[in-house]
Amino acid sequence: MFIRIEDFAAEWTGEAELTASMLDVLTDDCLGQEVIEGRRTLGQIAWHLVRSLHFMTTLGLKFDAPSGGEEAPASAVHIASEYRRISSDLLYAVRTQWNDETLRESVMIYEETWPNGSSLRYTIMHQAHHRGQMTVLMRQAGLQLPDVYGPTYDSWIEKGIAPLI
Ligand code: NI
């Protein structure tokens, strides 16, 4: 769990930039890519990353919901721009509406007690989990992946280095 707002701010800034760099690669045509028939598509997972940040308002933070409804937009550019807006608004809300003491306060979520500092940690991990799902679907859709926590297969090749297995 986070015990200092600025620790969260530093980590969130980097993580949100990684997510945005992946969303920037999406094209309208690839949004329908699905791992198996009938399950979440690439566009739906990307839109889930946008919408799920607004869940933090249930902890008392106030910032605007993404424009559009539950259904994933058909525009990859719209998903990326809404992500940038809401990920920045989340950080601004945390910085201006909470303080280090607030991070130790707890809220009941689904009959469980969650310290706010743990909810912020969960938000980062939840996002990384879905980003991992996206990398598989993006590869299947023929997109070139950006580096996230290290080089991708393609960036090894571009550097003339044999990719690790
Ligand atoms: Ni989720």
112-144 tens-digit pLDDT: 999 999 999 999 999 999 999 999 999 999 999
Write the secondary structure of the chain as one string of H (helix), E (strand) and C (coil): CCCCHHHHHHHHHHHHHHHHHHHCCCCHHHHHCECCCCCCEHHHHHHHHHHHHHHHHHHCCCCCCCCCCCCCCCCHHHHHHHHHHHHHHHHHHHHHHCCCCHHHCEEEECCEEEEHHHHHHHHHHHHHHHHHHHHHHHHHCCCCCCCCCCCCHHHHHHCCCCCCC
Q: How far is the CA of 130 from the centre of ligand 1 (A)?
A: 7
What pLDDT, in 10s, does the model give residues 8-38? 999 999 999 999 999 999 999 999 999 889 8
Instruction: State the pLDDT at residue 80.
Output: 98
Q: How far apart are CA 146 and CA 43, in angstroms?
A: 17
pLDDT band at 151 (very low <50, low <70, confident <90, very high): confident
- Each domain of the chain, given as residue ranges in start order, spans 5-158
- State the CATH architecture for 5-158: Up-down Bundle (1.20)
Is pLDDT of 155 > 90? no
Closest-CA residue to 94 (of 149, 41, 56):
56
What integer pLDDT is reported at residue 96 of this predicted model? Answer: 98
- CA 120 to ligand 1 centroid distance, Å: 14
Spacing, Cα 163 to ligand 1 middle (Å): 31
Q: What pLDDT was estimated at residue 51?
A: 97
Q: Write out pLDDT tens, residues 44-66.
A: 999 999 999 999 999 999 999 99
CA angle 127, 91, 47 (to 5 degrees): 40
Give dist(CA 58, CA 6) in Å, integer: 22
Mean pLDDT for 95-109 is 96
Determine the pLDDT at residue 154: 85
Ligand 1 geometric centre to CA of 55 (Å) = 11
Q: What is the pLDDT of residue 81?
A: 97
Taking CA atoms, 12 is separated from 2, 50, 117, 140, 148, in Å, by: 11, 14, 13, 28, 14
Question: When comparing pLDDT for 152 and 32, which is higher?
Answer: 32
Q: Would the pLDDT of 153 be above 90?
A: no
Distance (angstroms) between ligand 1 centre and the Cα of 127 equals: 8
First-last CA distance in the chain: 33
Rounded to an integer, the average pLDDT of 89-104 is: 97
pLDDT at 165 over 90: no
| 38 burial via Cβ count (<10 Å: 0-12, 13-18, 19+) | exposed
